């Protein structure tokens, strides 16, 4: 079955990296709820995104370029000062020891406590935004994706 086409079919647009993302106003936003650090690893193959919730933290593991895997370890934003002061120790203590034995960290740790959170009015006659173009939520609270939003939009059409 091929995808429907025509002037009445909503167009899916991902504008996060475009100028439109910066100039469109947001209908609602709130301060970041989470903070975290990530690094790129070799020797940790994954087939897709893996998401783990542990007491007081969230871990997201996903494949990237050059056979590297990105691993994010997040905490509540109130923990930022303590996490930042001991980033390597807190990050590594959050991971499964088996992963640390087989994988090798290839990059420095990068971290933030300023994750954007917003929601836009993301639909109009003949168009809709999905994914990061319509909303962005803290990593630990994220629900859905551009692919999921696109599928739901297509089903509703």
Report pLDDT digits (tens) over 16-74: 444 444 544 555 666 778 899 999 999 998 888 888 888 888 898 999 989 999 999 99
Q: Is 68 helix (H, G, I), strand (E, B) or coil?
A: coil
> What pLDDT score does 9 carry?
37
Cα(40)–Cα(65) distance, integer angstroms: 10
Query: What is the token pair recorded at 133?
Result: 């173009």
Q: What is the pTM of this model?
A: 0.66
> Could you tell me if 134 and 124 are in contact, meaning their C-beta atoms sit under 8 angstroms apart?
no
> What pLDDT score does 11 carry?
38
Q: Is 79 helix (H, G, I), strand (E, B) or coil?
A: helix
Residue 5: φ, ψ to 5°: -135, 165
Strand partners, 45: none
> Could you tell me if 83 and 8 are in contact, meaning their C-beta atoms sit under 8 angstroms apart?
no
Domains and CATH numbers, the chain: 11-30+115-156 (no CATH), 34-112 (3.30.9.100)
- Determine how many CB atoms are found less than 10 A away from the CB of residue 57: 20
Residues 6+ apart with CB under 8 A from 156: none
> What pLDDT score does 88 carry?
93
């Amino acid at each position: 079955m091929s995808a429907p086409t025509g002037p009445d079919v909503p167009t899916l647009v991902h504008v996060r990296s475009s100028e439109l993302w910066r100039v469109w106003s947001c209908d609602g936003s709130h301060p970041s709820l989470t903070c975290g650090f990530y690094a790129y690893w070799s020797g940790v193959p994954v087939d897709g995104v893996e998401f783990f919730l542990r007491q007081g933290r969230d871990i997201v593991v996903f494949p990237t370029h050059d056979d590297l895997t990105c691993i994010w370890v997040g905490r509540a934003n109130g923990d930022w000062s303590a996490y930042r002061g001991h980033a390597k120790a807190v990050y590594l203590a959050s991971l499964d020891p088996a992963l640390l034995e087989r994988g090798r960290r290839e990059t420095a740790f990068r971290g933030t406590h300023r994750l954007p959170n917003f929601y836009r009015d993301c639909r109009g006659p003949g168009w809709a935004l999905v994914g990061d173009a319509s909303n962005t939520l803290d990593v630990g609270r994220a629900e859905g994706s551009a692919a999921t939003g696109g599928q739901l939009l297509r089903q509703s059409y």
